[in-house]
Structure 1
Amino acid sequence: MLYLLRRQILLAALTLVGTWACRERSPELTAQQTLGDCRLIAHDAGETEICQQPERVVALSMHMLDLLLALEQQPIGYAPIDPLTIERFDQPEQQIPYLGDYVTGQLVNAGSRSEPSLETLVRLRPDVILGETGFHQKAYSQLAQIAPTLLFGGALRDQWQRSLLPIAKALNRPEQADQVITAHRQRLAKTRVALAEVVRTLPRCLLLGIRDLKQPIQIRTGSDFAGGLLQDVGFTLVAPSIAVRAAGEMTVSLEAIPQLASDWVIVQAWSTDTSNSPLKTVRRQWQQSPVLQAMAASRAGRVYFVDYQLWSISRGPMAAGLVLQQLEVLLLS
């Protein structure tokens, strides 16, 4: 009964917000805005009109938070990967991995990436909601009733650059997008110089995503965020000629890994429970596997374990800078 009541209240609120939004955007009330202060933003769910200077922005994923912070826009709400019991991120540097150091205020917890809280979003009354196509397409109509909502993909190589430009336009910060992309290219050039000798002598990299060695192992290629960065630096990514694709991922068995000739290996350790770092677990499993320990890269001490959240979830310019920095530390130390 309580659930039904809350649902009825939420639907009523959404209807009210939708009616208010339609009234606010009627030709009579917005004719002057349309001429000067509005932008039509193309995104994966269509085209959305954003007017004036958005101040109250909600990021429904770590990826969107990355893009906002790169544009120096502080959000008012954030939906992390996993649902958390806290109402707000009052200590973001401790509560938000990697990006929390760049958050200057207290963000409201807006649910989780896969299930954002519509009730919380209604209360926040944002000017703009930013989400990811793969996670928020089904809820788009409801989100768009709350506030103008923009959806973008972000998993593919350099996709964040294509998303950053319309987001910056929506936030009325187009010049900053160009500055962010230029800074990224300069940082990439710096890493190329720093790792030039490593690229020359150890060019072949095997990039893996591992949750548990008992399960199929993901092979990451140059088409995704981290693989694209490695290729941009100059490395060649090793991949099998024949692999099984499951849920959009290229996967192989543990026994097939030693057959992939590589000079070094990066293991992105991940878990469905992001509250506990899987790095120690995956490293221990790797070290206890006779098959993997027989690999040339293992014998040479050139297997590096990194956090999947940074290397494959954030996927923006902030993460790119941190990944390149970590890559230099790993390969030059």
Structure 2
Amino acid sequence: MLGIMLVIAVACGKEESANTDENSAASEEASSDTTKTITFLDKDYEIPSNSTKIVAASQEAMEDSAVLGVKPVGAVATGGEFPAFLGDSMSEAEEIGDKFQPSTEKLLQLKPDVILGTSKFQADVADSLNKVAPMIPISHISTHWKDNLLVLAEITNKTEEAEKYISDYEANAKETKTAVTEKLGDKEVLMFRVRNGSITIYPESVYFNPVLYTDLGLTVPEEVKAAKAQEQISLEKLAEMNPDYLFVQFEDSENQENKDALKDLESNAIWKNLNAVKDGHVYENVIDPMAAGGTAWSKTNFLAAFKKELGL
């Protein structure tokens, strides 16, 4: 009798073990079905497989959303408003606060599947957002524009649309580059932004500069090559550079204490003696001054404006 009981016990043990293994396998399979791993700039992120509630916690993510027709549930605002140039792309979004430190309280209410942040977030801000939902730090470096667009496309199953947008832009830029070379030759082109009343230039890989110097092959000014980050320069330094073409961006909200900074600049004798000014080659706000610069939306719209202004 004892032998029979032992056999039954062993059999039951094996059956229970098999059931446990099956349950474990089923659990793992269910887990893999509910999440997926995506790679962005050589780092992996695990997000819900069906991520429909997306928060755009950076200007770059907002512009990419507009390009792909994605309607975020939340987005950062400037002065309590979303950028008008993005049209109705933020029509379903709720304001989540400041771009430097979005409100975790508001985000918890929205319960997003994924947060598209920025690589400019401080570590403590990034940590707090990751406690709400997986946070992907969308790059503010212009040369990462394709990576930025494609990661949103992968999340929202719009890869085909993103690849076509990229392809169309690159074909347009290539065609424009030929026309630019013929028309401008070695003429020097500079874009600067007036911020806090000062002339601000950017490194070669930041803001709209990759459009000018990489996509269109224009000569890179030495001062731009030397810049490590956004850098203020004096009007006298600008006069030394003396570019042939100038693109100037000015936004009131960035010059609250210097609302007349651009007017003052334009009335200065040094300014009036610049080659670009004397030849009538100064173009102001050809694209919205709040545009990020290094995104698919910014690049496409700036390229169109550049062609229009130069008659290409």
Give the structure-2-normalised TM-score. Answer: 0.79
Paired with 1:270 and 1:239, the residues of 2 have a C-alpha distance of 26
Task: Indicate whether 1:262 and 2:247 are aligned.
Answer: no
Paired with 1:234 and 1:244, the residues of 2 have a C-alpha distance of 19
* 2:236 maps to amino acid: E
Q: Which runs of 5+ in 1 are unaligned?
A: 1-26, 90-94
Paired with 1:329 and 1:164, the residues of 2 have a C-alpha distance of 25
Paired residues of 1:127 and 1:147 also in contact (CA < 8 A): yes
Report the CA distance between 1:241 and its aligned residue.
Answer: 8.6
Paired with 1:104 and 1:132, the residues of 2 have a C-alpha distance of 18
Report the CA distance between 1:325 and its aligned residue.
Answer: 1.3
Report the CA distance between 1:121 and its aligned residue.
Answer: 0.9
Could you say which residue in structure 2 is the equivalent of 1:65?
A: 62
Aligned mate of 2:127, from 110, 123, 141? 141
Paired with 1:257 and 1:193, the residues of 2 have a C-alpha distance of 28
* 1:134 maps to amino acid: K
Paired with 1:112 and 1:130, the residues of 2 have a C-alpha distance of 14
Q: Which region of structure 1 is more displaced relative to structure 2, 123-132 or 169-178?
A: 169-178
Could you say which residue in structure 2 is the equivalent of 1:110?
A: 96
CA offsets 1:142-177 (integer angstroms, 9 cap, x no match)? 2122222211212x2321112233332233333333
Paired with 1:311 and 1:187, the residues of 2 have a C-alpha distance of 24
Aligned mate of 2:29, from 11, 25, 32? 32
Change (3 A) 1:137 1:73: farther
Aligned to 2:231, what secondary structure does the other structure show? Answer: strand
Paired with 1:132 and 1:186, the residues of 2 have a C-alpha distance of 28
User: Pairwise CA RMSD of aligned residues?
Assistant: 3.2
How many residues align structurally?
Answer: 287
Aligned mate of 2:201, from 212, 216, 219? 219
Report the CA distance between 1:269 and its aligned residue.
Answer: 2.2
Could you say which residue in structure 2 is the equivalent of 1:157?
A: 142
Paired residues of 2:287 and 2:305 also in contact (CA < 8 A): no
Q: Which region of structure 1 is more displaced relative to structure 2, 234-243 or 134-143?
A: 234-243
Report the CA distance between 1:243 and its aligned residue.
Answer: 6.4
Aligned mate of 2:152, from 154, 167, 177? 167
* 1:237 maps to amino acid: V
Report the CA distance between 1:250 and its aligned residue.
Answer: 3.5
Could you say which residue in structure 2 is the equivalent of 1:17?
A: none
Paired residues of 1:83 and 1:111 also in contact (CA < 8 A): no
Change (3 A) 1:300 1:322: same
Could you say which residue in structure 2 is the equivalent of 1:191?
A: 176
* 2:201 maps to amino acid: I
Paired with 2:211 and 2:184, the residues of 1 have a C-alpha distance of 13
Aligned to 2:98, what secondary structure does the other structure show? Answer: coil
* 1:135 maps to amino acid: F
Could you say which residue in structure 2 is the equivalent of 1:235?
A: 218
Could you say which residue in structure 2 is the equivalent of 1:295?
A: 274
Could you say which residue in structure 2 is the equivalent of 1:252?
A: 233
Could you say which residue in structure 1 is the equivalent of 2:298?
A: 319
Change (3 A) 1:251 1:137: same
Paired with 1:135 and 1:125, the residues of 2 have a C-alpha distance of 20
Report the CA distance between 1:194 and its aligned residue.
Answer: 5.2
Could you say which residue in structure 2 is the equivalent of 1:176?
A: 161
Paired with 1:234 and 1:46, the residues of 2 have a C-alpha distance of 31
CA offsets 1:264-288 (integer angstroms, 9 cap, x no match)? 11122245x2598x8x834312221
Task: Indicate whether 1:119 and 2:105 are aligned.
Answer: yes
Aligned to 2:69, what secondary structure does the other structure show? Answer: coil
Give the structure-1-normalised TM-score. Answer: 0.74
Paired with 1:30 and 1:316, the residues of 2 have a C-alpha distance of 40
Paired with 1:36 and 1:140, the residues of 2 have a C-alpha distance of 27
Q: Which region of structure 1 is more displaced relative to structure 2, 296-305 or 101-110?
A: 101-110
| Equivalences for residues 10-49 of structure 1 within 5 A | 31-36=28-33, 38-43=35-40, 47-49=44-46
Paired residues of 2:142 and 2:295 also in contact (CA < 8 A): no
Paired residues of 2:207 and 2:294 also in contact (CA < 8 A): yes
Report the CA distance between 1:102 and its aligned residue.
Answer: 4.9
Change (3 A) 1:179 1:308: closer
* 1:236 maps to amino acid: T
Aligned to 2:204, what secondary structure does the other structure show? Answer: coil
